[in-house]
A and B are shown apart, each in its own frame.
Chain A
Amino acid sequence: MSAPPIGNHLRRLRFDHGEMTQDALARAAGVTRQTIIALEAGRYAPSLELAFRLARVFGRRVDEVFFWREEN
């Protein structure tokens, strides 16, 4: 099964925000740490709601956190 076409900058944003842990990000976004791991590994594409929640954690727009793989 191929990887989802949506990439993200979650790992970089976490480190830019005081080296936030995956667990802390998971709690802030209301998901499990395993889902954050899967997102950062590019194995899972979030729902629109989760994408907005994650972007809000970092105070960014959704398109600043997520991108189409062809464009990057």
Chain B
Amino acid sequence: MRIAVVILLSALVGLLLSAPWIDWPLPEGLIGAGLMLAAAAGLRRHWQHRAQTRGDEPGEPEREVWHGLASTSLIGAHIATTLVLAGPGAALQDLAVLHHPGRTTWLLIGGAVASYFILHRREVQRDERDRAIAEQATRVSGLVLASLVVVLAVTLGFTPAARLAPMSHVFLAHLLLLALMLSSLTDHAVRLWGYRRDTLLARENAG
């Protein structure tokens, strides 16, 4: 449940940052990056508190995955919304339609990188359990990516040229990027499910 909430909330922020009907007081990319940094700082404090009071704070590998899940959802939703609004014929040269959102995307990526270093602890230890959870997630996300590529390949391959003609190369490139991001999101979600499952049962056994 928590995983779905993080995905949906992050995606909502990404969507709102792309919304043309909202007149943001600052560049959207800066707002998004600022939100990421604030969320990372708040989370770090929350986990430190949990470590001191309950001792069940997530380990470094799990923290990285939470960060990846939220960042990927936010940035992916922003890119997807931009594509929908730009339409299949979007061109890079169109400043209002793609150039400005492109700059926003890069600012969001910068925010994601900066927030990672806020959450990241120096002592990073990955053990066999982390590798086992990652292995399972990689299998599932690989399957998702392969499925998406097959769907795209078949759809593009069998669509009449006349219907494909309005689609710009920029649009198609971003479709592939979104497929990759969806696969990455799946990887993060499955890893977190693995960690959450252990944590919830450990709490049940302790209680």
Contact = CB atoms under 8 A, between A and B. Distances in A.
Interface of A: 1, 3, 22, 30-35, 37-38, 40-44, 46-47, 49-50
Interface stretch (B4-12, B56-64, B93-101, B180-188): B56-64
Q: Tell me whether chain B's interface is mostly helix, strand or loop, or mixed.
A: helix
26 contacts: A3-B201, A31-B127, A31-B128, A31-B129, A32-B59, A32-B60, A32-B129, A32-B130, A34-B58, A34-B59, A34-B129, A35-B127, A35-B130, A37-B199, A38-B198, A38-B202, A41-B202, A42-B205, A43-B197, A43-B201, A43-B202, A44-B129, A44-B198, A46-B128, A47-B128, A50-B127
Given A32-B59, A32-B125, A34-B58, A41 B198 contact: yes
Contact of A33 (B59, B130, B199, B201): B59
B136 to A, nearest CB: 10
Interface of B: 55-56, 58-62, 125-130, 132, 195, 197-199, 201-202, 205
A35 B201 CA distance: 13
Contacts of A34: 58-59, 62, 129, 195, 198-199
A38 B56 CA distance: 11
Contacts of B125: 31-32
A46 B127 CA distance: 11
A32 B125 CA distance: 7
B107 to A, nearest CB: 34
Contacts of B56: 37
Interface centre among A32, A40, A46 (most CB of B within 10 A): A32
